[in-house]
A and B are shown apart, each in its own frame.
Chain A
Amino acid sequence: MFSKDSKLEKFKDAETIIGSSIRVKGNFQGQGNIIVEGALEGSLKTDASIYIGNQAKIVANTEAKDVIVNGEIHGNIKAKNYLAIGGTAKIFGDLQYGEISIERGAVINGQLLMLPEDHKRGEKIKTEEKENTPEK
């Protein structure tokens, strides 16, 4: 289930943080974990995880391995591995995910579509390979 503590642990060393007073326009693409607390318009993508804070307002399609949503999103979300939707989330768009958890109070206006099992497995294998590869 959705846990704030696990979020904080995972995003403690996030490479990218968009603060609550910041507005981003365009195609934002990162490689590490991303935290968004501000406004973003365009698209949002990373190979790792995205945390969308409860003050965030996003008008964009979002794609990542794991996505945690607490804010407002107008656009589609694709979480190849895990999608966690918090109680303060407002989502206006379609959701694609490997696994999902939804907290009570969340607003979702869109279709929910589970990604095929092999797609999900592929992502998991990739993740395990990454974790098992010794750092150079």
Chain B
Amino acid sequence: MHVYIYDDYLSKGKYHKTINRLEIRLTDLGLNGKIIRLGGIKNIKGAIQNEIKLGAKTIIAVGNNQTVNKIIGAIIDTDLYGDFQKKTLLGIIPIGDDNSIATSFGIKNEAEACNILLARRIEKIDLGLVGKYYFLNQASIQSSGTTIVINNYSIETGEKGEIKIINLLSDNDTGIKSNPHDGLLDIYIKTRKKDKTCLTAKKLTITSSENRLLIDGVMEVETPTDVEIMKDRVNVIVGKNRMFE
């Protein structure tokens, strides 16, 4: 059974046409299923957990990065997670802005997402963990005044720039090949001096006197905080144009 989780912002008028088109396409492909609209639900976690209990085979996030994170947040670290990992797939239908997670999985738009759901190309994906928050794509922080400690060494720079801790690559500008099932986080530092630094780690601690760590572009976390990788945590339906092998 497919369960489509519609994010609340999709109730806005400007998305009606897109949603109608999407639902027609899903019906044509025989992919129709239950629809849950988050707008009318107070207990989002409970609603998603209930669908897994009822035996949902595929949970599809219809929305953006936040929608995907809400679904992951609802299932990870719960008693249901074991069942979810074994039996349930996560699909994504991107609508609107802020869809870098879908882009990483090779899903450009809602029309392409329907075909990808039909093809059911499945990949086991690692998740990043910052404190108690999980992330699929990346966490980022300004480099100035920030120190990273990995195992027996520390890294810092006085230059202004950005530090990205990447699980799943969302843009090809970095020139690094991040692999979301290698059990490693890719640390990428780019400063105004235009030099680049990249290395990998399973676990690290970030401390910054000035800045907060931004998770998947939506949530800020105070430092010091630990960041680590959790291997093969979610089964995701991906497109053939995904940004990893």
- Which residue numbers of A lie inside 8 Å of B, CB to CB? 15-30, 37-38, 42
> Can you list 19 pairs linking A and B with CB atoms under 8 Å apart?
A17-B197, A17-B199, A19-B157, A19-B189, A19-B195, A19-B196, A20-B195, A21-B157, A21-B191, A22-B156, A22-B157, A23-B157, A25-B154, A26-B153, A26-B154, A27-B151, A29-B152, A38-B197, A42-B153
Report the separation of the CA atoms of residues A15 and B199 in the bound assembly, to the nearest whole angstrom.
6
Residues of A within 8 A of B161 (CB): 21
Kindly list chain B residues whose C-beta atoms are within 8 Å of the C-beta of A28: 152-153
Residue pair B155, A22 in contact (C-beta under 8 Å): yes
- Once the chains bind, are A22 and B152 in contact (CB under 8 Å)? no
- Is B30 at the interface (CB under 8 A from chain A)? no
Interface contact B153-A25, CB-CB below 8 Å: yes
Contact with A along B129-160 (1 / 0, CB 8 A): 00000000000000000000001111111110
B152–A27 touching, CB < 8 Å: yes
Are A26 and B152 also in contact (CB < 8 A) when A19-B191, A20-B193, A21-B191 are?
yes
SS of B interface (majority)? strand
Q: Which of B147-206 contact A (CB under 8 A)?
A: 151-159, 161, 189, 191, 193, 195-200
Check B193 against A21 for contact (C-beta < 8 Å).
yes
Task: Write out the residue numbers on chain A whose beta carbons fall within 8 Å of the beta carbon of B197.
Answer: 17-19, 22, 38
Task: Given A15-B200, A16-B200, answer yes or no on A23-B156 (Cβ-Cβ < 8 Å).
Answer: yes
Query: Considering only CB atoms, which chain A residue lies closest to B190 in the complex?
Result: A19
Give the chain A neighbours of B196 by CB distance below 8 A: 17, 19
Residues of chain A contacted by B158 (CB below 8 angstroms): 21, 23
What is the distance, in angstroms, from B148's C-beta to the closest C-beta of chain A?
10
Q: Which 5 A-B pairs have the closest CB atoms?
A: A26-B153, A19-B195, A19-B197, A21-B159, A27-B152
Looking at B151, B155, B189, B191, the one whose CB has the most chain A CB atoms below 10 A away is: B155
Contacts of A30 in B (CB 8 A): 199
Closest approach, in angstroms, between the C-beta of B168 and any C-beta of chain A?
18
- In the complex, which residues of chain B have a beta carbon less than 8 angstroms from the beta carbon of A20? 193, 195
Residue of A nearest to B191 (CB): A21
Whether B191 and A24, one on each chain, are in contact in the complex, defined by CB atoms closer than 8 angstroms, is no
Question: Smallest distance from the beta carbon of B239 to chain A beta carbons, Å?
Answer: 26
- On chain A, the residues within 8 Å of B191 by CB distance are 19, 21
Residues of A within 8 A of B193 (CB): 19-21
Contact of B189 among A22, A26, A42 (CB under 8 A): A22
Q: How far is the CB of B84 from chain A (nearest CB, A)?
A: 30
Give the distance to chain B from A51, nearest Cβ to Cβ, in Å.
14
A21 and B154: CB pair below 8 A?
no
Residues of A close to B154: CB separation below 8 A = 24-26
CB distance from A15 to the nearest CB of B (A): 7
Which chain B residue lies CB-closest to A55?
B195
Q: What's the nearest-Cβ distance from chain A to residue B3, in Å?
A: 37
Chain B residues within 8 Å of A23, by CB:
155-158
How far does the Cβ of A104 sit from chain B's closest Cβ, in whole Å? Answer: 28
Given A16-B200, A26-B153, A29-B151, list of 8 further CB < 8 A pairs?
A: A16-B198, A16-B199, A18-B197, A19-B157, A19-B196, A22-B189, A29-B152, A38-B195
Q: How far is the CA of A29 from the CA of B153 in the complex (A)?
A: 9
Q: How far is the CB of B244 from chain A (nearest CB, A)?
A: 16
The CA-CA distance from A42 to B155 in the complex, in Å, is 12
Residues in chain A near residue B189, CB distance under 8 A = 19, 22
